Amino acid sequence: MHAHLRIARPVSSVEQSLTMYSKGLGLAEIGRFENHQGFDGVMLGNPGMHYHFEFTYCRTHPVRPVPTQEDLLVLYLPEPDEWRKVCSRMLEAGFVEVKSFNPYWQLRGRTFEDPDGYRVVLQQASWSNGENP
């Protein structure tokens, strides 16, 4: 089976999330909608990826984001130079570096939080399904 993954999150500001995630993670806007049955949204990704992000805002009944410290988006970046560059871009984009709730992520990674409390871990390691513990 070949599937494509969409990670959808309600946010307090579609434009703020668009700016931060595109600058921080180097993603491009691949779709957008406005007032679709009361929802605004934007999708971010890049060609060749098997996933993309969707950030939405409901005009009629805004959903307050309530992520926990363990609701993580983890990206594995095996090349040290690339990992350092992306970490720097995250800070430049407005993410705040935070201490991970789970100390495992501090060993080879850095954790960043957006204004809605969503966390992104940039792990300086590789991962391949079926080959890692």
Whether residues 46 and 89 share a domain: the answer is no
Whether residues 86 and 53 share a domain: the answer is no
pLDDT tens, 8-30? Answer: 999 999 999 999 999 999 999 99
Indicate which CATH number applies to the domain containing 112: 3.10.180.10
pLDDT at 131: 64
pLDDT tens, 101-129? Answer: 999 999 999 999 999 999 999 999 999 88
pLDDT tens, 35-53? Answer: 999 999 999 999 889 999 9
- Does residue 131 lie within any of the structural domains? no
* Residues counted in the chain: 133
- Does residue 107 lie within any of the structural domains? yes
Q: Which domain holds residue 41?
A: 5-58
Is residue 132 predicted with pLDDT exceeding 60? no
Cα-trace Rg, the chain:
15
Is residue 133 predicted with pLDDT exceeding 60? no
Written as six digits, the tokens of 36 are 């679709």
Check: CB of residue 90 under 8 Å from CB of residue 75: no
